[in-house]
Amino acid sequence: MRLFIAINLSDEMKDALIGVQNAMYDGGVRGNYTPEENMHLTLAFIGDTPDAQPVLDALAGVAFTPFPLTLEGFGCFGDLWWAGLRESAPLAAVARRVRRALAEAAIPFDRKRFSPHVTLIRRAAGKQPEIVLPPVSMTVTSVSLMRSDRGRNGMIYTELGTAEAKA
């Protein structure tokens, strides 16, 4: 199983991101656009693992309270274009707690620096348009363990379990 831990986005946030993607497409940008159902914020990428249960057990120990998440900014990593998120101490803290829980459980994960973003397009080609990202917000109330499977038309993400915020 290919696993990652993520924050799933609200419908309102996804709608705003689809609007940005549509503007990019109309502006001539081509590439592999992230489908609405796959939009998320990755906290930790685990990769291939034979058993999800140890990850679920580690995730269950991650404590956090609800916090806001707001779209802000736009950027790219080469030909991968993304929407950014407003700097947030609670977001950084939950990412650290998730990664610490994985490390303490000896679960290997990608230890690249956490850079909060939502992927909009992979293999983007075209002139990067002036993007005005609407400052849409949501409240994060859960963090999810996700499985990624290659489907006929791209990746299919399935939620395997969550850690819920404590009010």
Question: Which residues 6+ apart lie within 8 Å of 102 measured at CB?
Answer: 5, 44, 46, 55, 58, 109
pTM across the whole model:
0.92
User: Tell me, what amino acid is at 124?
Assistant: A
User: Tell me, what amino acid is at 108?
Assistant: P
41 closest CA partner among 72, 65, 78, 1: 72
Domains of the chain and CATH, by start: 2-164 (3.90.1140.10)
Answer yes or no: 117 catalytic.
Answer: yes
CB atoms inside a 10 Å sphere around CB 90: 15
Token pair belonging to 126: 């075209």
Sign, Cα dihedral of 46, 47, 51, 56 = positive
Answer yes or no: 40 catalytic.
Answer: yes
pLDDT by residue, tens only, the chain of 167 residues = 899 999 999 999 999 999 999 999 999 999 999 999 999 999 999 999 999 999 999 999 999 999 999 999 888 889 999 999 999 999 999 999 999 999 999 999 999 999 999 999 999 998 877 878 888 999 999 999 999 999 888 889 999 999 999 87
Please pick, among 97, 102, 117, 143, the residue that the annotation labels catalytic.
117
Please pick, among 40, 59, 71, 146, the residue that the annotation labels catalytic.
40
